[in-house]
Amino acid sequence: MERGSITELPKIYNPHAVEKRLYDWWNQQGYFAPETQFERGWASREQKPFVISMPPSNITGELHIGHALVMAIEDLMVRWHRMRGEPTLWLPGNDHASIGTHNVIEQALDQRTADDLLREIGYPLPDDDRPLTRYDLGREWFVRLGWAWKEHYGGTINRQLRRLGASCDWKRERFTMDEGLSRAVRASFVHLYDKGLIYRGYYMVNWCPRCGTAVSDLEVIHQEEAAHLWHVRYPLIGDGREGPPAEWGSGRWAEGATEWIEVATTRPETILGDTAVAVNPDDERYAEVVGRTAVLPAIGRRIPIIADSVVDPDFGTGAVKVTPAHDPTDYAIGKRHGLDMPDVMNDDATMSKLAGPYAGQGVYECRRNLVADLEKEGLLVRIEDHQHALGHCQRCDQVIEPRLSTQWFVKIKPLAEAAIDAVRDGRIRIIPERFNKVYFHWMENIRDWCISRQLYWGHRIPVWYCDDCDELTVTMEGGPTSCQACGSTNIHQDPDILDTWFSSALWPFSTLGWPDDTEDLRYFYPTTILETGYDILFFWVARMIMMGLECTGDVPFHYIYLHGMVRDEHSQKMSRSKGTGVDPLEVMDEYGTDALRFTLLTGSTPGNDVNLSLARVEANRNFANKIWNAARFVLSQMTNDQIPNPNWSLVIGHWSLPDRWILSRHNRLIADVTRLFEDYNFGEAGRQIYDFLWGEYCDWFLEISKIRLYGDDEEAKYTAQQVLVHVFDRTLRLLHPFMPFVTEEIWQHLPHEGEALIVAPWPEAGPMDEAAEAEMALIMEIVRAIRNARAEYKVEPGRRIEAIIAAGDEYELLSSQKDVLIATARLDADKLHVARTLEEKPAQALALVVGGVEVYLPLAGMVDLAKERQRLNAEIEEVTTGIAGSEKLLANEDFLAKAPAQVVERERNKLAGYRQRQAKLQERLRSLQD
């Protein structure tokens, strides 16, 4: 891109005219790729690289505000390390997102919005408009539709990431179902299987009836809900009674029963799967019934009453029904006591044939009918309101049904122990450190990971069953043709696919070529840092650590940076349905990408949630405009033959006091920002850059520089230009990782020898000048005091006023900086008097004390004394009237007795404010009269 001349910066910054053009140029120049750094000599392969594996976006996804935060933080890190001359790789990619993609596609099938894609792949659509399901398509067609969906919609999120300025190496983009990554999935499965860490078994799982698959513990979201607790009594065998005398539903099923045991349940339909009633062995209420037999309502099954210490005697009646096939705790009880485990539910949450008279009914239909029948038979004791946490599928929000199912599992304890050690011994550092405790607690209590899913879209489990010898063939080959045990060709593959998180757990190394020994894997692995939300610390992060250590023998990254959730300005969770959601694309359209990025980054600290308000985004859009206008002013004061040499030697003693001050403050800023970056405190770094640019550079130094820029001394003018450009250039480098577009566009118009800000060297801090900072701090404090006085007395902005200064020990300093005082405090040059001491203090003058300096501002020079006295008297009268009204109201006993407490308190505060204002006005009036 050709650099513009200093006269070509447009009057107004237009993000839409800049952002895409700059991004495309950066990408075309290869600035995002580490190879360009090597080829251009900006970095060397001898250096340790900085590497981030971008969290892969779902192919069905669109940019949301959480994505925007992730990309802003990661892009900031990447740009900073690239500017530091480190080989930098940010590897992007997409996740096939098995269950998530299934949900989206199945909704499209149901609504028939996927018909065009189905025609495109040649699927024979039915003639009618009935909803379609995945089962209508079958595996082969559904998978083909998944790939078509990926090609059609998968690029949306990547285009949106480009809008955010993500400077990742798109040539290395990966997809979790690419052939190379699919091979890595098979290799890791075989590796774990051969070590005995993957097994297949019939165990309790979380079942989502809508998705039609098992899901992991982490994919179950527990929500507090108002529910009921049904108390039901089971008749006991005894007194010659062997069983029900009549059919269920007759109203006479329990006739003749004299002994009962009462249980309480939140899921009455699971009564049909009970195989015991359990009590605590220390519960004396049930000591006599342990070992006896109860009859299960509806089914008539004889079930034992057993004792187990897991039972809480204080819950319900102290006796609990045991349904081993439909509750994790009951499953454990069933295993200990050798109970039968009948599964009374089908995959679609209808009741199975083992549910007796309720077979085929939906869960909630069964619940209603069973409760009605229990009441009819006299077995329903009572119904209580009950609050409890109910598990929902993370993807579709369907209520999860715990049930027994044959699935594939990872034996997780050995992997978890190695992952715990990696954090304990410091090979991996979690930022912020407080999440170590959370990590250890979860990893130390982890359960085996159910990795099989009963879906179509995803990685098929690389296991083939032999129809002749029943042996398994487990191989990383894409499709074996014969049994490894007997050689038979009568083999078929396991129909299940792997959990999405299984392939995602391999992301840091599978994307670099593992299991092959590639150059990228040798150089870029382990990666440097994993940046993600604290909400997926266990979903993804912990699994990457476990799989990285197991498959490569090394940690997948050395640092974990956890950010929080993005909330609204009131700290509430964002919700589009409630109107509090923020669409980042709309925000970027209105305010520009830099404003959104800067708001998110300066509002964040590691591990804490971010409160986002559009008012702050607008304020940061104004910050971008402030920088733009500052650039226009700096450039307007220069011509091309006045460009300072960018290699000029910085000798602080050669500059004026304001020069020495701004250079020192700037060097301090560089040191502080670099330190804050190194400590991952990006938000504070951004805030300091903001304060420096807006306050010290624009509001102070730029204004002070006008004295020389508009003067006749050419050498002084040239020096001002030098310092202005030097400080501005280096501050833009600090700001670039936060606001890449506006800083690059400005930098392309500044005088320098580099080709692009994105690859410009990160500035190094020079020496500090403590004396200059202290001296300018005093001058600025004096100016602020005078400005405050002008505002208080409502002095017109253009009016220059008289000032008399008793400088004391600061006489030489203030005498030498008269021009600064005159320019910044709007003083009358002919009426500014600076002396060491004053023989007598001026009459009718406002006295200001700053440190050891006294400043007197003659009031006659600021206001018309007669008019000011008149104005003050009128205001005092108005305030006095307000005091009288307030005092009268507060003396009214009726008001005090009947008005709300907050109204009375508000009136008292108003009275206190009136009195304070009255005292201040009277003091000012006395000063004018004196």
Region 137-148: what's the mean pLDDT?
A: 96
Q: Check whether 653 has a pLDDT greater than 80.
A: no
**Residue appearing with tokens 């983009």:** 173
Q: How far apart are CA 202 and CA 334, in angstroms?
A: 14
Within 817-892, residue ranges assigned H as helices are 818-825, 865-890
**Residue appearing with tokens 């935060």:** 69
Q: How far apart are CA 466 and CA 494, in angstroms?
A: 11
Note whether 607 and 694 are within 8 A (CB).
no
Note whether 68 and 586 are within 8 A (CB).
no
List, for residues 698-731, the tens digit of each pLDDT value.
999 999 999 999 999 888 888 899 899 999 999 9
**Residue appearing with tokens 């969290």:** 55
Q: List all residues 6 or more positions away from 686 whose beta carbon is below 8 Å from its beta carbon.
A: 598, 601, 602, 738
Region 40-68: what's the mean pLDDT?
A: 91
Q: How far apart are CA 674 and CA 189, in angstroms?
A: 43
Note whether 208 and 419 are within 8 A (CB).
no
**Residue appearing with tokens 């202290």:** 774
List, for residues 609-646, the tens digit of each pLDDT value.
888 889 999 999 999 999 999 999 999 887 655 554 44
* Burial of residue 652 (number of CB atoms within 10 Å: 0-12, 13-18, 19+): middle
Q: Which two tokens stand for residue 53?
A: 């594996």
* Selection from 219-223, 613-617, 663-667, 922-926 with the highest mean pLDDT: 663-667
Q: How confident is the model at residue 650 (pLDDT cuts 50, 70, 90)?
A: very low
Bridge partners, residue 175, by sequence: 94
Please give the pLDDT value at position 579: 59
Q: Which helix (H) or strand (E) holds 51?
A: strand 50-53
- Interior/surface letters 318-354, b for 16+ CB within 10 angstroms, e for the rest: bbbbbbbbbbebbbebbeebebebbbbbbeebbbbee
Q: Which two tokens stand for residue 66?
A: 């959480």
Half-sphere exposure (Cβ direction) of 506: Cα atoms closer than 13 Å: 30
DSSP character at residue 537: I
Note whether 181 and 510 are within 8 A (CB).
yes
Q: Which helix (H) or strand (E) holds 383?
A: strand 380-393
Please give the pLDDT value at position 6: 53
Radius of gyration of the chain from Cα atoms? 38
Please give the pLDDT value at position 578: 55
Region 151-177: what's the mean pLDDT?
A: 93
**Of 239-243, 573-577, 758-762, minimum mean pLDDT range:** 573-577
List, for residues 248-260, the tens digit of each pLDDT value.
999 999 998 999 9
Please give the pLDDT value at position 3: 52
- Check residues 682 and 219 and name the one with the higher pLDDT: 682
Q: How far apart are CA 909 and CA 171, in angstroms?
A: 65
Number of continuous H segments (helices) and E segments (strands) in the chain: 30, 30
Q: Which two tokens stand for residue 505?
A: 């757990």
Q: How far apart are CA 887 and CA 15, in angstroms?
A: 57
Note whether 290 and 306 are within 8 A (CB).
yes
Q: Which two tokens stand for residue 308?
A: 């187990």
Q: How confident is the model at residue 576 (pLDDT cuts 50, 70, 90)?
A: low
Bridge partners, residue 228, by sequence: 385
Bridge partners, residue 523, by sequence: none
Please give the pLDDT value at position 646: 44
**Of 149-158, 474-483, 573-582, minimum mean pLDDT range:** 573-582
Secondary structure in 3-state letters for 68-99:
HHHHHHHHHHHHHHHHCCCCEEEECEEECCHH
| Percent share of the chain, pLDDT over 70 | 96
List, for residues 3-26, the tens digit of each pLDDT value.
545 557 899 999 999 999 999 999
Cα–Cα distance list, 25 to 76, 80, 478, 758 (Å): 19, 19, 41, 11
Give the closest residue to 61 by CA, choosing from 466, 470, 500, 708. Answer: 500
Please give the pLDDT value at position 512: 98
- Classify residue 642 as left (phi > 0), alpha (psi -120 to 50) or beta: alpha
Q: Which two tokens stand for residue 859?
A: 């009031």
List, for residues 233-253, the tens digit of each pLDDT value.
999 998 777 778 899 999 999
Q: Which two tokens stand for residue 178?
A: 């690419």
Please give the pLDDT value at position 217: 83
**Residue appearing with tokens 């329903």:** 380
Q: Check whether 651 has a pLDDT greater than 50.
A: no
DSSP character at residue 601: H
List, for residues 204-222, the tens digit of each pLDDT value.
999 999 999 999 887 888 9
φ, ψ for residue 334, nearest 5 deg: -60, -40
Q: Check whether 559 has a pLDDT greater than 50.
A: yes
Q: How far apart are CA 436 and CA 413, in angstroms?
A: 18
Dihedral of the alpha carbons of 161, 164, 169, 174, in degrees to the nearest 10: -10
**Residue appearing with tokens 């203090």:** 841
Q: How far apart are CA 285 and CA 458, in angstroms?
A: 53
Please give the pLDDT value at position 558: 98
Q: Which helix (H) or strand (E) holds 235?
A: strand 220-235
Q: Which two tokens stand for residue 422?
A: 């990696």
Note whether 687 and 787 are within 8 A (CB).
no
Q: How far apart are CA 193 and CA 463, in angstroms?
A: 10
Q: How far apart are CA 144 and CA 137, in angstroms?
A: 10
Dihedral of the alpha carbons of 675, 613, 166, 559, in degrees to the nearest 10: 40
Cα–Cα distance list, 636 to 8, 597, 656, 733, 812 (Å): 10, 29, 22, 21, 34
Give CA 899 to chain center in angstroms: 46
Please give the pLDDT value at position 316: 82
Q: List all residues 6 or more positions away from 305 whose beta carbon is below 8 Å from its beta carbon.
A: 236, 261, 276, 277, 278, 279, 286, 289, 290, 291, 292, 293, 294, 319
Greatest alpha-carbon span in the chain: 120
* Selection from 241-255, 300-314, 882-896, 902-916 with the highest mean pLDDT: 300-314
Measure the N-to-C terminal CA separation of the chain; round to a whole number of Å: 68
Q: Which helix (H) or strand (E) holds 563?
A: strand 557-563
Q: Which two tokens stand for residue 321?
A: 């029904």
- E strand map for 807-871: 827-835, 845-850, 853-858
Is the previous residue joined to 328 through a cis bond, with omega within 30 degrees of 0? no
Q: Which amino acid is at 546?
A: M
Q: How far apart are CA 573 and CA 321, in angstroms?
A: 39
Q: How confident is the model at residue 790 (pLDDT cuts 50, 70, 90)?
A: very high
Give the closest residue to 930 by CA, choosing from 844, 862, 840. Answer: 844
Region 418-433: what's the mean pLDDT?
A: 96
Q: How confident is the model at residue 647 (pLDDT cuts 50, 70, 90)?
A: very low
Write the DSSP assignment of 290-359 as a string of letters: TT-EEE-TTT--EEEEEE-TTS-TTSTTSEEEE-TTS-HHHHHHHHHHT------B-TTSBB-GGGGGGT
